[in-house]
């Protein structure tokens, strides 16, 4: 009886195993049919997406039909429209009316891509069989940017395309586009990008913290209340010829000697100073050795002490205080220095603008070193609840 039962089960298993490949093929065919149907539907939706996007701004998002993933285009209808709206709103906060003129010259397209790969099991050991058995898939989307008839490198977006990612990509496209309208000096000062990202709630606190713990003494003096130090640390007048002397004091030297510049900047240093000589500075903190190390670094190894986000905050402040037309005044670039350009945009003196920025930064200093009220309340409630729970507990029942 049990033999017969066993044989029956075995026979069924064999039949099932033989039927599986056929099942697979059938499933593939069904999937293709579904894909083709989806493709037809989605093309209509793409057209609608373009129309919606066009209504919201001067921008167009052109969705290229990827071969495999019809579903994306369907999703992009909503995602693309929302992302365009959000990005345009964000750009308008900083660029105001200039947003539309920028958008006219900006062309965006999203191209989906995907590829399947299957690992050839001949190249794998035994452990690779499971990997070889399941095909893997690369999938993503590329946001391509074209501004004033010039192609810029695209931004790769994660799959599936999320609204936030697409918005960030479009904002980045605006930032690059806007920077081309700035005078060269200001463009360089902003690191070739007009920052459009909104400041986070704790931005000023983190900026204060960054400046107060900066490796440049001049920046620390700036947040200590010295306005001249702020102008120097922001480098808005001109680049100092001796950056080390202008921005740093002796306590910064050893740290700078260790970390300033990138590896390419440090080639001369490595060639002309032996390890032992360098260790006179890096380990023994000998003043002369540190000075020699720093002298062997190219001048641009020492960067503007106020980081990019701090400079961007000053830039935003200038546009905000300048009101409508501020970005156009900046673009005109009549002033000889960054300070002058920002002052012109803000419609006030550079000193007054920097002073406002400094006050804002200093106001960002954490108010109290004690834990905040939420922390106090949450902790107290938790402790009281635990105590009450414990007091009600019975060890046996």
Question: Minimum distance from CB of 262 to other proteins (Å)?
Answer: 17
Q: By CB under 8 A, is residue 214 in contact with other proteins? A: yes
Candidates 19, 34, 47, 285; binder of other proteins (CB under 8 A) is 285
Q: Is 208 in the site for other proteins (CB under 8 A)?
A: yes
Ordered strands of the 150-157 beta sheet? 61-64, 106-117, 136-147, 150-157
Out of 287, 298, 349, 363, the residue judged to bind other proteins by CB under 8 A: 287
Under the binding rule (CB under 8 A), the answer on residue 370 touching other proteins is: yes
Distance CA 297, CA 275 (A): 16
Per the document, the length of the chain is 397
Determine contact, residues 251/285, Cβ cutoff 8 Å.
no
Q: Which residue has the tokens 């905000």?
A: 320
* Radius of gyration for the alpha carbons in the chain, expressed in angstroms and rounded: 31
- Binding piece for other proteins, criterion CB under 8 A, among 37-45, 99-107, 229-237, 373-381: 373-381
Q: Are strands 106-117 and 61-64 parallel, antiparallel or unpaired?
A: parallel
Give the residue, chosen from 60, 85, 181, 220, that forms a contact with other proteins under the rule CB under 8 A. Answer: 220
Q: Does 147 bind other proteins (CB under 8 A)?
A: no
Residue whose CB is less far from other proteins, 122 or 392: 392
Of the listed pieces 16-24, 185-193, 254-262, 321-329, which binds other proteins according to CB under 8 A? 254-262
In the complex with other proteins, which residue's Cβ is closer, 73 or 219? 219
**Which span (22-30, 140-148, 215-223, 321-329) binds other proteins, by CB under 8 A?**
215-223
Token readout for 361 is: 């930064």
From the number of C-beta atoms within 10 Å of its C-beta (0-12, 13-18, 19+), residue 386 rates as: exposed
Asked whether position 309 contacts other proteins by CB under 8 A, the answer is no
Backbone torsions φ then ψ of 156, nearest 5 degrees = -85, 135
Contact 281, 297 (CB under 8 A): no
Contacting other proteins (CB under 8 A), which of 213, 238, 274, 349?
213
Q: How far is the CB of 69 from other proteins (least distance, A)?
A: 20
Grouping H, G, I as helix, E, B as strand and the rest as coil, residue 145 is strand
In the chain, helix, strand, coil percent, each to 5? Answer: 65, 10, 25
Q: How far apart are CA 141 and CA 156, in angstroms?
A: 6
CB of 379 to other proteins, least distance (A): 4
CA distance linking residue 112 with residue 235, whole number of Å:
43
Q: Which residues pair with 108 in a beta bridge?
A: 61, 145
Per the structure block, which two tokens stand in for 323?
A: 């009101």
Which range, of 229-237, 244-252, 294-302, 319-327, touches other proteins by CB under 8 A? 244-252
| Residue tagged 């400041």 (tokens) | 199
Min dist. Cβ of residue 137 to other proteins (A): 15
Nearer to other proteins, 97 or 250 (CB): 250
374 touches other proteins (CB under 8 A): yes
Asked if 297 and 321 touch (Cβ cutoff 8 Å), the reply is no
Residue 207 CB, nearest approach to other proteins (Å): 11
Measured from the CB atom, the residue of 140 and 340 that comes closer to other proteins is: 140
Rounded to a whole number of angstroms, the minimum distance from the CB of residue 280 to other proteins is 12
Cα 58 versus chain centre, distance = 25
248 makes contact with other proteins (CB under 8 A): no
Binding other proteins (rule: CB under 8 A), the pick from 104, 267, 274, 379 is: 379
For other proteins, which residue of 24, 202, 250, 300 counts as binding (CB under 8 A)?
250
* 366 is a contact residue toward other proteins (CB under 8 A): yes
Query: What are the tokens at 78?
Result: 């909503």
Task: Report the residue number, 107 or 219, with the smaller CB distance to other proteins.
Answer: 219
Piece of the chain touching other proteins by CB under 8 A; list 43-51, 140-148, 214-222, 335-343: 214-222
| Structure token digits, residue 228 | 């001249």
Contact 312, 357 (CB under 8 A): no
Asked if residues 170 and 157 have their Cβ atoms less than 8 Å apart, the reply is: no
Would you tell me which residues interact with other proteins (CB under 8 A)?
A: 208-209, 212-215, 220, 223-224, 250-255, 258, 284-285, 287, 290, 365-366, 368-371, 374-383, 385-387, 389-397
């Amino acid at each position: 009886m049990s033999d017969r039962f066993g044989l029956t089960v075995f026979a069924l298993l064999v039949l099932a195993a033989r039927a599986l490949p056929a099942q697979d093929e059938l499933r593939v065919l069904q999937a293709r049919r579904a894909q083709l149907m989806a493709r037809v539907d989605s093309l209509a939706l793409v057209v609608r997406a373009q129309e919606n996007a066009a209504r919201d701004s001067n921008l167009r998002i052109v969705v290229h039909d990827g071969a495999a993933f019809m579903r994306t285009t369907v999703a992009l209808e909503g995602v693309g429209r929302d992302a365009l709206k959000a990005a345009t709103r964000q750009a308008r906060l900083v660029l105001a009316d200039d947003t539309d003129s920028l958008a006219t010259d900006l062309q965006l397209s999203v191209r989906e891509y995907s590829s399947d790969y299957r690992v050839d099991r001949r190249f794998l050991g035994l452990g690779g069989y499971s990997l070889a058995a399941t095909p893997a898939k690369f999938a993503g989307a590329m946001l391509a940017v074209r501004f004033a008839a010039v192609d810029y490198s695209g931004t790769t977006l994660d799959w599936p395309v999320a609204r936030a990612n697409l918005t960030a990509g479009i904002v980045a496209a605006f930032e690059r586009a806007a920077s081309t309208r700035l005078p060269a000096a200001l463009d360089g000062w902003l690191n070739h990008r007009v920052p459009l990202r909104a400041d986070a709630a704790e931005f000023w606190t983190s900026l204060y913290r960054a400046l107060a713990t900066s490796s440049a003494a001049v920046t620390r003096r700036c947040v200590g209340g010295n306005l001249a130090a702020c102008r120097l640390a922001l480098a808005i007048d001109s680049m100092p010829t001796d950056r080390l002397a202008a921005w740093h004091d002796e306590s910064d030297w050893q740290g700078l000697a260790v970390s300033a510049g990138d590896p390419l900047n440090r080639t001369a240093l490595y060639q002309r100073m032996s390890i032992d000589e360098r260790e006179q500075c890096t380990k023994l903190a000998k003043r002369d050795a540190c000075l020699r190390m720093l002298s062997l670094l190219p001048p641009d190894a020492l960067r503007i002490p106020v980081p990019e986000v701090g400079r961007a905050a000053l830039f935003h402040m200038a546009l905000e205080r300048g009101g409508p037309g501020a970005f156009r005044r900046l673009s005109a670039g009549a002033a000889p220095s960054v300070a002058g350009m920002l002052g012109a945009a803000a419609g006030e003196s550079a000193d007054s603008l920097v002073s406002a920025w400094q006050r804002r930064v200093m106001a960002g200093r954490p108010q109290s070193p004690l834990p905040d009220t939420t922390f106090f309340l949450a902790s107290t409630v938790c402790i009281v609840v635990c105590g009450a729970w414990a007091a009600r507990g019975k060890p046996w029942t």
